[in-house]
Amino acid sequence: MSSSTLAPNMIGNSIKADILWILAIYGCAVGSGSLFWPISLGSAGLWSMIILIVLAFPVTYFTYRVLSLYIAAGTVTRTSKSNLIDTTHELLGKRAVKYLTVAYFLIMIPSLAVYAITMSNTFLDFFKTQMGFPPLNRGVTVFGIITFMSAISLGKTESILKIVGVIVFPFILSLLFFGFMSIPHWNTSFLTAEENTTNVLAIAKSTFNNLPVLIFAFSFTPIVSSLVAHYKQSHGEQAFKKIDQILIISLIVIIATVVFFSLGCIFSLTPAEIKEARVENLTSLSILARKFDAPWLAISSQIIIFFAAMKAFLGTFIATRESLIGMAINNFRCNELFSNGIGMRLVSVAIVFIITIIPTIANMDVINIIKYFMVPVSVFIVFFLPQYAFYRVARLRHLRGGFINGFVILTGVCALFAGIINIIRHVI
């Protein structure tokens, strides 16, 4: 076959792969965390809301650009895919990998709990408010939902990704649809909310306290490792240019749709309704569903929330299984046959089942889980690990310093201290 025949096929396959990765990033980033972001924004006050929206792109793009640069510094070999764990092993050694796999696992667990709580609360609220049924038993409902998710999670990674891929594109259209549907309900009550202030110190404090929720609303840590590994293997030394393009396009689509949807929710709901969502541990879309006169719109919004949390749960489960495989090999010296086989899949599902069912039945506060547990732990991997490697490894010297690294470090420090302060305030 001639090169002229091959070239269009190769270009077509490349474009198709790029689109699939953009959708995968969207599917990982936009889930229940993004649906809770309007509640966080609406509680922050007008000026803090504007600041947080402006910060959304630089905080997310600079952070994942630096993380991708770090992962891309690894070498692809016959035994190394050059993903996050492989690169850390190559650059920082076995001890660092042991700590990394544990930390990576600790990031995923609260994420899975958030998604399980969102699915359960949406399911329960759907039957209570939309169907008019008596309240379902929470324990039985939670057990059934998590058992159902566990059954899907037993499948191979490729099968899980196909399920996630089927959900993503309709979800993008759904966010836009409900953003437009909310426009007739827009009102000015948010502009007169008691949280609005012109006091500079109060605005800074509110922005600081809500930064962790912003970070989580656009987080796609679980997919970055696989993204970089894929393009390292397919594009070699030219990989990062392509990765950077994928990140920029993905984030433009993600932030544009989520901000549009968030503003629609905030200006459609009253301050009292935003507080109601916060107290009932429901997403903005669940509260917004109650305002629609058409029953089919209210019902479809609840279905969308459920599947949004479902796809995020499955995407995060893949990363959780990856971290458990890394722990099995590096920390417990399990053989490859067990670590990459059905045995590890069963162990992963059992562990996830146990550690998600307890907080889900307890209905722990989702926004507090994000502030107290998820972001403070993820800071060490997403924000600080690349910076440590840049200064620790001589051949990464050229990646040190500069505005972007400084911005990422400052954001990480703020997110870490915001989490610590929130924990101290909650305990006291």
Mean pLDDT, range 209-230, rounded to an integer: 86
- Do residues 84 and 225 lie in contact, with contact meaning Cβ atoms separated by under 8 Å? yes
pLDDT tens for residues 195-206? Answer: 777 789 999 999
The count of structural domains within the chain is 1
pLDDT of 262 strictly over 60: yes
CA angle 42, 145, 355 (to 5 degrees): 80
* 8 occurs within a structural domain: no
* 155 occurs within a structural domain: yes
Domain containing 223 equals: 21-427
Percentage of the chain surpassing pLDDT 90? 32
pLDDT of 5 strictly over 50: no
Among 129-133, 145-149, 169-173, 311-315, the range with the most confident prediction by mean pLDDT is 145-149
* 308 occurs within a structural domain: yes
User: SS3 for the chain, per residue?
Assistant: CCHHHHHHHHHHHHHHHHHHHHHHHHHHHCCHHHHHHHHHHHHHCHHHHHHHHHHHHHHHHHHHHHHHHHHHCCCCCCCCCCCHHHHHHHHHCHHHHHHHHHHHHHHHHHHHHHHHHHHHHHHHHHHHHHCCCCCCCHHHHHHHHHHHHHHHHCCCHHHHHHHHHHHHHHHHHHHHHHHHHCHHHCCCHHHHCCCCCCCHHHHHHHHHHHHHHHHHHCCCHHHHHHHHHHHHHHHHHHHHHHHHHHHHHHHHHHHHHHHHHHHHHHHHCCHHHHHHHHHHCCCHHHHHHCCCCCHHHHHHHHHHHHHHHHHHHHHHHHHHHHHHHHHHHHCCCCCHHHHCCHHHHHHHHHHHHHHHHHHHHHCCCHHHHHHHHHHHHHHHHHHHHHHHHHHHCHHHHHHCCHHHHHHHHHHHHHHHHHHHHHHHHHHC
Mean pLDDT, range 303-315, rounded to an integer: 82
**pLDDT tier at 180, thresholds 50, 70, 90:** confident
The Cα–Cα gap between 37 and 307 comes to: 17
* 212 occurs within a structural domain: yes
Among the ranges given (129-133, 143-147, 346-350), the one the predictor scored with the smallest mean pLDDT: 129-133
By the 10 Å C-beta count (0-12 exposed, 13-18 middle, 19+ buried), 426 is classed as: exposed
| CATH number for the domain that contains residue 213 | 1.20.1740.10
Predicted pLDDT of residue 163: 76
Predicted pLDDT of residue 1: 36
pLDDT of 189 strictly over 90: no
Predicted pLDDT of residue 32: 64
Mean pLDDT, range 128-144, rounded to an integer: 88
Mean pLDDT, range 126-137, rounded to an integer: 84
* 16 occurs within a structural domain: no
pTM of the model: 0.83
pLDDT tens for residues 14-57? Answer: 788 888 888 888 877 887 678 889 988 988 889 999 999 999 99
Average pLDDT over the chain reads: 84
* 10 occurs within a structural domain: no
* 267 occurs within a structural domain: yes
The Cα–Cα gap between 267 and 189 comes to: 8
* 297 occurs within a structural domain: yes
